[in-house]
Amino acid sequence: MKREVKRELLDELPAGDRGAIGARRDLQKVNACMGHAHIMVRALAGTFTGRSPRSIVDLGAGDGTLLLRLAKSIAPRWKPVRVVLVDRQRLLSPRTKAEFAALSWHVDSLEMDVFDWLQRPHPEPSDVTIASLFLHHFKEHDLRRLLGHAADQTGFFLACEPRRVNFSLCAAALLGVIGCNRVTRHDAKISVRAGFAENELSALWPLDEGWRLRERQAGLFSHCFVAQRIPGPVL
Ligand SMILES: C[S@@+](CC[C@H](N)C(=O)[O-])C[C@H]1O[C@@H](n2cnc3c(N)ncnc32)[C@H](O)[C@@H]1O
């Protein structure tokens, strides 16, 4: 299937639109079906063995509940983490913020375009940057630019996106069965067609031998990309 990026309804609708509000709730179900929190926990736990990252940035974070689910699963093994949620809409609820606080994770939610945030000077790189159901919004040129900035900003980049295959398209057509609304059913098909396969994200990561790249199918419907900075020699 050839990759095709189209505008999604959720990106066009005002935040207060009933369909948009329902679709944001649906995203929690979609993420649960795709297993993104679980996939990410496994990738992070396998990398950060015996040490905790101090900071996690979530690009296109939505309401932050995906990262909260991840945090609940991994918090007992890690020291407290500083979290930055970047999204062009401010969607973090007081309840989600309180749930992060209960884990001793401090959250900042920034209402910003991802490029504006990535191009800002960052006093310290983040230990981890994640993206779930976000990269597929961008065409190749912007994606290359986004990944280039991310490589300057983090030491570990992890993305879970739709896998661009017919099987995912069939699953997207069945989302009504789990109660997803018209907006979600429409956007899910667009998201699969804009999703990824093979080594498409690795090909857009900056050419630099200082990174270890992995890209593979994850779960039933997802495509996972990991870029990990290879530690340099201690001088
Ligand atoms: C499909 S939602 C995914 C939300 C969340 N990551 C998850 O997995 O539940 C995509 C999110 O990206 C945000 N977004 C889209 N384009 C953006 C941009 N250029 N800068 C920042 N956020 C953006 C949208 O507002 C939306 O919340």
Supply the pLDDT for residue 59: 98
CA-closest residue to ligand 1 atom 4: 62
**132 C-alpha to center of ligand 1: Å?**
8
Ligand 1, from 87, 160, 161: best to mutate by most atoms within 8 Å of Cβ? 87
Cα 84 → chain centroid = 12
Looking at ligand 1, which atom is closest to the CA of residue 160? 8
Grouping H, G, I as helix, E, B as strand and the rest as coil, residue 202 is: helix
Q: Whose CA is nearest to atom 15 of ligand 1?
A: 60
Please tell me the predicted confidence (pLDDT) of residue 234: 59
Angle, helix 94-102 to helix 65-74, in steps of 10 degrees: 10
Question: What's the confidence (pLDDT) of residue 121?
Answer: 86
Name the residue at shortest CA distance from atom 27 of ligand 1: 62
CA of 220 to the centre of ligand 1 (A): 22
pLDDT at 126: 95
The candidate with the shortest Cα–Cα distance to 169, out of 99, 220, 116, is 220
Question: Which residues does a 6 A CB cutoff place in the pocket of ligand 1?
Answer: 11, 27, 31, 60-62, 66, 87-89, 113-114, 132-134, 137
Delineate the domains of the chain, giving CATH numbers in brackets. 9-229 (3.40.50.150)
Q: Could you give the 3-state DSSP secondary structure of residue 74? A: helix
- What is the token pair recorded at 218? 């994850």
How confident is the model at residue 122, as a pLDDT?
Answer: 80
pTM: 0.96
Ordered alpha helix ranges (H), the chain: 9-12, 18-34, 36-47, 65-74, 94-102, 114-119, 140-153, 166-173, 182-193
- Weakly modelled stretches of the chain, pLDDT under 50: none
Beta strand 211-218 with 222-229 is antiparallel
CA 49 to ligand 1 centroid distance, Å? 29
Run of H or E including 82: strand 82-87
What is the predicted pLDDT for the residue at 231? Answer: 82
